[in-house]
Structure 1
Amino acid sequence: MTITPRIELRTGQSLIMTPQMQQAIKLLQLSNIELKEFVETELIENPLLDRDEGKENLDENMEREHGGEDEGLAENIDSEHLEVESEKDFVSNNVEQKLQENEVSSLDIDDFGNVWDVEDTFQNKNTSPNSLSDRSNQINNFTEYPYSIEQTIKQEISLREHLLNQIQLEIKDHTDRKIAIFLTSHLDEIGRISEDLSELGSQIGCNEKKIETILLTMQEFDPAGIFARTLSECWAIQLRDKDRLDPAMETLLNNIELLKIHDYKQLSQLCKVSVEDIRDMISEIWSLNHNPVELFNDPIIQPVAVDVLMRQTDNKNFVVELNSSELPKVLFNNDYYVEICQNLKTSEEKQYVAEKYQCANWLIKSLHQRATTILKVATAIVLKQNAFFEHGIEHLIPLALKDIAEDVEMHESTISRVTTNKYIDTPRGIFELKYFFSSALDSVDGDNSLSSEAVKHQIKKLIENENMDSILSDDKLVNILHKNGVQIARRTIAKYRESMKIPSSVDRRRAKRMIF
């Protein structure tokens, strides 16, 4: 046996993520605020790009492109029949398919408008990924903002994340959890709920009593004093947390107007304590924190740039459209491009202009594809969650990324990127697109899906109502739920029960015998 060198020719297929596709994916996962910062950097570094300062060009180009209609990139949805009435604003080509194209159509100078009016605006027959500039290569991969493990460890948890973690731990019911997240989004800058509960209830579609019940639970969250409605309630929560909210202190807080005018004598009579005790109580109150969220570096009210607008027309149709006012509008400076091309002398100058030309090309295309993808996904979500927008939180159906991915013919990872940090302004308030997703279980008849949180709620209620003579085993729970239309396995019952910290049937029977 001998080893000799030889030349072989092989053919094969492999998937390669081009720099252009990487840039499009990167832009897709940015929020509007992050996108503006990214575009600002590009405008500084690329002389062939200009910012569209006004709205006139946008409106004129929209009118020219859409035949005089003023809806822009919008979808008109029949809320009764759940059909898209007009699909002319949808991009017919699959966005993911277009991301893989390495060629672009010819450049028409007159077609350079804002980002919404540009489709396939450039062509450079000599274009290749290798011709991109260093800056472009940096943009088109995932190393532009490198994060080391050390940086990740040093990152502090935000207040919003801190509250959401507590919601996941303390609130088990799926609907209640959604309401809790809704309340979190309505905290003011010092961590209070300043809006009227009845207004919040009507906005999300549930009664005031339910809102208040959930709010009282959330007032036990850390930091102490969060979710209070007034300053006195904020102090009361902190005192209760320290086990110092006795009847005298509670009376003092209920008469805070006397505290403002320093009427210690009247307070002494109401609280049935001496004036000296009143002074001590006041000193204790002053030691409390009137702004419980100040320990967190990030503000609770994060700037939210709404990506999608949703409104209901007089004929009960939902219209979903992009919020063009929040989107960066980029123009190609063709006059400057023609001017500098006439004066290029060295190969370095020609290479520089070619690189900037290519960067401008892919930025404009990627922005347009990002916008149409967000619109398409948001419209699909509104169609799925139509009952929620019509009737409220109780009608929010379970929804998975896979459901939307199948509807819009995209990959689940694309749907995940599109729905993260993207917001929709609806008649029921502003929601992150992720808000509308939750896990589900199949029903017995297979026609409907049931939220896993709703099934947990059923299991909890059944166990709470059991008596000592009829303790429900996991097998019995399976049979009961099956009769109620829920297809579930015994091991799933056990998993859900353990997640809610509910003992087994044997332990529950033993505990009840000890009580009785």
Structure 2
Amino acid sequence: MALAPRLDLRQAQSLVMTPQLQQAIKLLQLSNLELTAYVESELERNPLLERDEGSEAAAPVEAEGRDTAEFAASDDLPASGEAPLDYDGYRAETTAPTADDGTDLGLVEAGMSSWEGGGSGGGRGDFEDDDRSLDERFGEVQSLRDHLVAQAQIDISDPGDRLIAWTLIDLLDESGYLIANLDDVAAQLGTNVARVERVLAMLQRLDPPGVAARSLKECLGLQLADRNRLDPAMQALLDNLPMLAARDIPGLLKVCGIDSEDLSDMIREIRALDPKPGLAFAGGTAEPVTPDILMRPLPDGSYFIELNPDTLPRVLINSRYYARVRKSALDRDAKDYLSEQLQSANWLVKALHQRATTVIKVASEIVRQQELFFDKGVQHLRPLILRDIAEAIGMHESTVSRVTTNKFMTTPRGLFELKYFFTSAIQSSEGGAAHSAEAVRYMIKRLIDAESPTEILSDDKIVEILLKDGIDIARRTVAKYRESMKISSSVQRRREKSFKI
């Protein structure tokens, strides 16, 4: 068989990811805050774009639109009356909730990981004039390092000891614990370990109590010593914290040499301590979650859904500036640059407009599908997957997945990530509609919360109760859901509730 070069003509279909399509896909999965940062960078790069700062009410748009691929493949621009992102929301044909009886689904903390109390950070304490707003000046939190350095400058007079103290302060983590080895610190500073330990003891007497500890036991011991409550029985309890976490009450009574009433009082004292004293000095204000979608009930029983206008970027194309500059552009390179920037600006406006309509369309369909959740609570959350939404609105699953990524919606029942409404299905034992996994978790938690100390429900018993309600679930699935909510086993709960820890 002879080998020779030849030319063949073949016809095939393929999807080409153009830069415009990539941009449209990228914008879909950004949250409003991330989108704002992206638009700001485009405003700096493209001279034909300008920020829309108009104060007029936004014009409503219908929650219709082509899929990302279809829109990006089109070369037509929006009509002159279509201002990008200027819409008033979408009204979902659902019924408003009659009562807000939602239950907090916060995880139940296991062991001794749930604590009360904690210190508070100090402020600036001065009245200097600066350019910051009143909210910024009174809202800031002093850092733990600044708080400790200010105290060390007063309490530690020796310059060498003060240098050691500053080194140790820099080695504290955000919870206030010392994460370094004292031998390494001594070698680094060229001193002996005894001196470093002496300075560490000085730091541990500073505010907040428990700071600069090297373990949870030492942290709690420092706080109890500050309260003059570190007696031998309490020290024995601290020496056996794993037994306390396991609720080994008989063992604790034996090692501490006290009765059950005294042990109960000691446990309450420990729970009032702060295991992470440094967190009160975060060094900055915690950023709350900003919703991308706003939802509120209307008097007629429907829901009003819109994108958050406070975080939604609005841009316009400055066509007058483009026309004026193009007339003065003489060379070909300048004209090519203007044409390229105009095309980029047009695609950005189209992509922003398509993103807005797509997000509203997906959110509205989620609200429609989860109507019972908003009416009656989480126990009525229905199973939902991406394919259900994609088929209902005529889009691809990948598009729905990108839209629901990093997007939060504020509702009459609280703030939820869009991904929250997608849960797996658990089949009904009676052949009816399937149950949502999240709703089953809620039912398990409710059953455990209502159990009495004399009738602790085992996983097998919970399976029997759920089966009577038409939920066909395996015992290992109940155990998995219980552990995901950090609910201890029936043996542990029996110890807890019998001793009322």
User: What TM-score range do you get, normalising by the shorter chain?
Assistant: 0.5 to 0.7
For residues 12 and 420 of structure 2, what CA distance do their matches in structure 1 show?
A: 43
Cα distance, 1:250 vs structure 2: 11
Q: Identify the match of residue 217 of structure 1 among 109, 113, 118.
A: 109
Cα distance, 1:44 vs structure 2: 1.1
Cα distance, 1:27 vs structure 2: 0.6
Cα distance, 1:354 vs structure 2: 1.1
Q: Secondary structure at the match of 1:424?
A: strand
Cα distance, 1:385 vs structure 2: 2.2
Write the letter of the residue equivalent to 1:375. Answer: I
Correspondence for 2:357:
372
For residues 380 and 446 of structure 1, what CA distance do their matches in structure 2 show?
A: 26
Does the CA-based 8 Å contact 2:23-2:351 persist in structure 1?
yes
Q: Identify the match of residue 94 of structure 1 among 66, 70, 88.
A: 66
Cα distance, 1:450 vs structure 2: 1.2
Does the CA-based 8 Å contact 1:376-1:408 persist in structure 2?
yes
For residues 457 and 317 of structure 1, what CA distance do their matches in structure 2 show?
A: 27
Write the letter of the residue equivalent to 2:102. Answer: G
Q: Could you say if the C-alpha distance between residues 299 and 450 of structure 1 is closer, same or farther in structure 2, counting changes exceeding 3 Å?
A: farther
Q: Could you say if the C-alpha distance between residues 250 and 424 of structure 1 is closer, same or farther in structure 2, counting changes exceeding 3 Å?
A: farther
Cα distance, 1:343 vs structure 2: 2.0
Write the letter of the residue equivalent to 2:17. Answer: M
For residues 46 and 310 of structure 2, what CA distance do their matches in structure 1 show?
A: 23
Q: Secondary structure at the match of 1:368?
A: helix
2:90 counterpart of 1:104? no
2:45 counterpart of 1:45? yes
Q: Secondary structure at the match of 1:425?
A: strand
2:367 counterpart of 1:401? no
Q: Secondary structure at the match of 1:387?
A: helix
For residues 358 and 52 of structure 2, what CA distance do their matches in structure 1 show?
A: 22
For residues 111 and 101 of structure 2, what CA distance do their matches in structure 1 show?
A: 20
For residues 304 and 69 of structure 2, what CA distance do their matches in structure 1 show?
A: 27
Cα distance, 1:42 vs structure 2: 0.7
Q: Could you say if the C-alpha distance between residues 421 and 472 of structure 1 is closer, same or farther in structure 2, counting changes exceeding 3 Å?
A: closer
2:279 counterpart of 1:292? yes
2:287 counterpart of 1:301? yes
Q: Could you say if the C-alpha distance between residues 235 and 90 of structure 1 is closer, same or farther in structure 2, counting changes exceeding 3 Å?
A: farther
Correspondence for 2:337:
352
Q: Identify the match of residue 86 of structure 2 among 116, 132, 135.
A: 116
Does the CA-based 8 Å contact 2:100-2:413 persist in structure 1?
yes
For residues 377 and 273 of structure 2, what CA distance do their matches in structure 1 show?
A: 42
For residues 306 and 473 of structure 1, what CA distance do their matches in structure 2 show?
A: 38
Question: Cα deviations across residues 456-483 of structure 1 (Å, max 9, x unaligned)?
Answer: 6878979x99xxxxx9999x99898666
- Gaps of at least 5 residues in structure 2 are 88-98, 121-207, 211-215, 231-271, 452-456, 485-489, 491-501
* Sequence identity percentage: 39
Aligned residues: 337
Q: Secondary structure at the match of 1:356?
A: helix
Q: Could you say if the C-alpha distance between residues 286 and 438 of structure 1 is closer, same or farther in structure 2, counting changes exceeding 3 Å?
A: closer
- Larger CA deviation: 310-319 vs 428-437: 428-437
For residues 473 and 48 of structure 1, what CA distance do their matches in structure 2 show?
A: 64
For residues 319 and 218 of structure 1, what CA distance do their matches in structure 2 show?
A: 40
Cα distance, 1:443 vs structure 2: 1.9
For residues 243 and 477 of structure 1, what CA distance do their matches in structure 2 show?
A: 40
Correspondence for 1:512:
none
Q: Identify the match of residue 102 of structure 2 among 190, 194, 205.
A: 205
Cα distance, 1:340 vs structure 2: 1.6
Q: How does 1:113-152 map to 2 (within 5 A)?
A: 113-116=83-86
For residues 382 and 339 of structure 2, what CA distance do their matches in structure 1 show?
A: 51
2:357 counterpart of 1:384? no
2:12 counterpart of 1:27? no
Q: Could you say if the C-alpha distance between residues 20 and 381 of structure 1 is closer, same or farther in structure 2, counting changes exceeding 3 Å?
A: same
Does the CA-based 8 Å contact 1:235-1:288 persist in structure 2?
no
Does the CA-based 8 Å contact 2:408-2:416 persist in structure 1?
yes
Write the letter of the residue equivalent to 1:335. Answer: R
By relative contact order (CA 8 Å, sep 6+), the higher-ranking structure is 2
Correspondence for 1:321:
306
Q: Could you say if the C-alpha distance between residues 4 and 324 of structure 1 is closer, same or farther in structure 2, counting changes exceeding 3 Å?
A: same
Q: Could you say if the C-alpha distance between residues 482 and 319 of structure 1 is closer, same or farther in structure 2, counting changes exceeding 3 Å?
A: same
Q: Secondary structure at the match of 2:109?
A: helix
Instruction: Give me the TM-score of the superposition, normalised by structure 2.
Output: 0.55
- Gaps of at least 5 residues in structure 1 are 63-71, 74-88, 118-201, 253-284, 466-470, 503-507, 509-516
Cα distance, 1:5 vs structure 2: 0.5
For residues 374 and 429 of structure 2, what CA distance do their matches in structure 1 show?
A: 27
Does the CA-based 8 Å contact 2:118-2:273 persist in structure 1?
no
Question: Cα deviations across residues 343-395 of structure 1 (Å, max 9, x unaligned)?
Answer: 22212111101110110011000000111111111111111222232233333
Question: Cα deviations across residues 78-119 of structure 1 (Å, max 9, x unaligned)?
Answer: xxxxxxxxxxx222x4323533414224x76x54745437xx
2:434 counterpart of 1:421? no
Q: How does 1:327-342 map to 2 (within 5 A)?
A: 327-342=312-327
Does the CA-based 8 Å contact 1:205-1:394 persist in structure 2?
no
For residues 434 and 278 of structure 2, what CA distance do their matches in structure 1 show?
A: 43
2:260 counterpart of 1:363? no
RMSD: 4.6
Q: Higher Cα Rg: structure 1 or 2?
A: 2
Write the letter of the residue equivalent to 1:104. Answer: D
Q: How does 1:474-485 map to 2 (within 5 A)?
A: 484-485=469-470
